[in-house]
Structure 1
Amino acid sequence: ALSFGFYGVVKKRRPLESTVSLTLETMAPLPLALIFLGYWQVQGTSSMTESIGTMTGLILTGIVTAVPLLLFGFGAQRIPFTWVGFLQFVAPTLSLGLGVLLYHEPFTKTHMVAFTCIWTAAIVFTLNGVWIRKKQLRKVA
């Protein structure tokens, strides 16, 4: 949560074009990734050279990951930061809904408590924003 929050602040405060930003973000861990790939290749445990299908699949996962990151970077610069934060509640909720409703994953009491706390906080945050906005409008009028 802390690192993603920091990431969001940096994206908002230092706006770069989405493609430039994604390139920089991808290049940062590249040296470490190359070291790991080299180590696994030397050890004989690398999946990269198993087959063309495996290699193609691994490369496509990069593309599938990059597209949402590009869209996030593009969108984060165009909407208020509070909206970005609030929308971060939607993705895990959709994932939970898909898991429970479509894939019949278990939904325990612990899950219910966690999501109740999360959405209660989101509702309190939203109501507080509405209250502050109304207060500001009354001062102007």
Structure 2
Amino acid sequence: MSEERRGYLYGLLAYVMWGFFPIYFKLLRPASPLEILAHRVIWSALFVALLLTAMRNWRFLARVVRSPRLFGGIALAAVLIAINWGTYIYGVNSSRVVETALGYFITPLVLVLLAVTVQRERLRRWQWAAVAVGGVAVAVLTIDYGRLPYIALLLAASFGTYSLVKKRMSLPPAEGLFVESAVLALPALIYVGWLTTTGDAKFGHVSALHTVLMIVSGIATAVPLLLFAAAANRISMIGIGILQYVAPILQLACGLLIFHEPMPPARLAGFGLVWVALILFTWDALRHQRKRTTIGTTAATAEPIAALPPR
């Protein structure tokens, strides 16, 4: 198997795992979203610490300690991913899986807006069209829900901002996840201790299977991230961009087919507009990539000819 095919396999596995997260987090009830989040943080930190110990790769900590700016960026990323994880768990366990899927459908559009407002990048015409259609979709869904789809918007905004912060740092995924989890681990341990003291903790008090699933949440968090990193090193960003739709499609299927959440016509129309925006966005990205590849090939072909000595 070629490295590119291996990369697509890793990426597909990562997004399929993320796509079936609603089923997993439903199994963690009756624990509250905050208790699930706390355990997810704690067991993620422990699992990645064991992984890094096996790899004998702790040298990166010296770099983090020596750079207050880097540590501050990691702390900000930790807060953003905690908001994202907590919102997602809350959305799933309050029977809003369809809305969580919407959040990850509109994340690429939020990333485009962040590129304009924060990175000062210039958008192409079709990118603006995609953002405009996405804005109309949010308006339609707001009318349908009778409120802003705040879970979807918070998921998209938190993950989009998290991606922007991570882009400005250069820690590999395992190391980054460990430091982020470690930053959150102390408040998570304090919260779990408080729940245990007050007798409100569900961990260890529901069933043996529930306890195991709470512990495994750390592995379930780390493994798809590591698979995604392996994929990103082997395939193009266009390939990653197309694969990223696998997860919300599966999440939407879970919401509709497994949990039987409603999809009235107005909501379907809103999702339809989101998909139109994503088609425009993806088509423009593919077109732009093809154009750059053509220019690069032409330049590479022309260079040797220009270098030939005059006859």
TM-score range, shorter chain: 0.7 to 0.9
Q: Provide the residue aligned with 2:169 in structure 1.
A: 14
1:127 to 277, 283, 308: 283
Q: Secondary structure at the match of 2:245?
A: helix
Give the aligned residue type for 2:171: L
Whether the 8 Å CA contact 2:192–2:201 is kept in 1: the answer is yes
Q: Aligned pair count?
A: 141
Partner of 1:41: 196
Indicate how the Cα distance of structure 1 residues 11 and 107 shifts in structure 2: closer, same or farther if over 3 A, else same.
same
Q: 1:98 to 1:113 in 2, by over 3 A?
A: same
Unaligned 5+ residue runs, structure 1? none
1:66 and 2:225 matched:
no
1:28 aligns with 2:178: no
User: Contact between 2:238 and 2:286, CA under 8 Å: does it hold in 1?
Assistant: no
Equivalent residue in structure 1 for 2:269, among 109, 113, 118: 113
Q: Distance in 2 between matches of 1:36 and 1:56?
A: 20
| Secondary structure of the corresponding residue to residue 201 of structure 2 | coil
Q: Deviations over 1:80-126 (max 9, x none)?
A: 44554443333111221243345544332243123212211111112
CA deviation map 1:30-62 (0-9, x unaligned): 122112111111211112342671433321222
CA RMSD after TM alignment: 3.0
CA distance in 2, matches of 1:70, 1:126: 25
- Tell me the amino acid that sits aligned with residue 253 of structure 2: G
TM-score computed with the length of structure 1 as normaliser? 0.73
For 1:34, the aligned partner's letter is L
The whole-number CA distance in structure 2 between the counterparts of 1:11 and 1:82 is: 19
2:195–2:201: 8 Å Cα contact kept in structure 1? yes
Kindly tell me: are residues 110 and 88 of structure 1, through their superposed partners in 2, closer, same or farther at Cα, counting changes over 3 Å? Answer: farther
Greater relative contact order (Cα 8 A, min sep 6): structure 1 or 2? 2
| Aligned-partner Cα distance in 2 for 1:36–1:4 | 24
Take 1:29 and 1:19, find their aligned partners in 2: how far apart are those partners?
16
For normalisation by structure 2, the TM-score amounts to: 0.38
Task: Give the match for residue 256 of structure 2.
Answer: 100
